[in-house]
Structure 1
Amino acid sequence: MPTPEYVLSLREKIGTDLLWLTGVTAVVTRGEGADRELLVVRRADTGAYTPVTGIVDPGEEPAVAAEREVLEEADVVAVAERLAWVQVLPEMTYPNGDRAQYLDLVFTCRYVSGTPAPADGENTEAFWAPLDALPAMSADMRARVAAALSGEQAARFER
């Protein structure tokens, strides 16, 4: 589902004004060592390669949101194991004029089961990519992946 119903309802009230939302980035890996792979999707709206991302629903636990988004978008079951990074993304304006800014929570996730497939229309591709041969990603997405795969025990916080 591209835009959650509650966001559409808010948009009816506030129009294109800035909307503060909580988002998740689910960095899902499988395998070990040199065989380790990253779950990658290709966004239908921009064509960009990214890890799975999405919006936390009202009252939803963020780790549950990360797991839900992976299942909804890529048809893969994963478990969020660690909060890796908390950051505020720059304000953005969508093509329709809607303005939004996200608190992004990056989770390190472990693969459980499933074969990647673009499951909900938000992506045109979903696949496993070797960590040493990832498709081109924005610097921001590469930083999210790096934070999740850093092996650090505590989350990173921007200041």
Structure 2
Amino acid sequence: MATPDFLRELRATAGQQLLFLPGVTAIVFDDKGRVLLGRRTDTGEWAVIGGIPDPGEQPAECAVREVHEETAVRCEVERIVLVQTREPIQYPNGDICQFMDITLRCRALTTECYVNDDESLEVAWFEPDSLPPLDEFGIHRIKLAMGDGPTWFEGMPQG
């Protein structure tokens, strides 16, 4: 994930201390039920699509923007899947961030996909039962987005 300009400016005065930031994850399905994934430049691993909202940007706007920027796919947001504060992470440069992730289920309006920025090595559609290796973050969110249950909140009883 490329560091947004506003975050670079904030780091110039805040240093490497913990920053609590919003994050948005988009789980995008096409009309065939396939899910859209990208293979990240920074890790080489397949992952769900996501990013950091710009100041003042709504989560749904961020999801639509990030999906298009990374994959060239146009989508619309259908519902909130999950809201979860993640554990703090320290990046190799020493910066510490903690993200509150808002995961949104999205429906593809177009399906032609290709690498559309420098954050991905590949982008592709996958059948949910034939996913490439993914971390638990992505697997959990895809499973929840496939269902029609209520929004999942960390630490709350799930019915």
User: Counterpart of 1:30?
Assistant: 30
User: Counterpart of 1:17?
Assistant: 17
- Cα distance in 1 for residues equivalent to 2:88 and 2:109: 34
User: Counterpart of 1:49?
Assistant: 46
Moved over 2 A (4+): none
Counterpart of 1:146, as a letter, is K
Unmatched segments (≥5 aa) in structure 1 = none
Unmatched segments (≥5 aa) in structure 2 = none
1:60 maps to 2:57: yes
- Cα distance in 1 for residues equivalent to 2:2 and 2:115: 13
User: Counterpart of 1:101?
Assistant: 98
Q: Could you tell me the TM-score, scaled by structure 1's length?
A: 0.94
139, 142, 158: which one pairs with 2:154? Answer: 158
The C-alpha deviation readout for 1:35-84, integer Å capped at 9, x for no partner, is x2110100100112111010011111101100110001111101011001
Higher strand share: 1
Query: 1:20 offset after TM fit, Å?
Result: 0.8
121, 125, 133: which one pairs with 1:124? Answer: 121
Equivalent residues, number: 155
Q: Could you tell me the TM-score, scaled by structure 2's length?
A: 0.94
- Cα distance in 2 for residues equivalent to 1:23 and 1:148: 17
Counterpart of 1:46, as a letter, is T
66, 69, 93: which one pairs with 1:69? Answer: 66
Instruction: Supply the RMSD in Å over aligned alpha carbons.
Output: 1.1
The answer (yes or no) to whether the contact 2:30–2:111 under 8 Å persists in 1 is no
Counterpart of 2:73, as a letter, is V
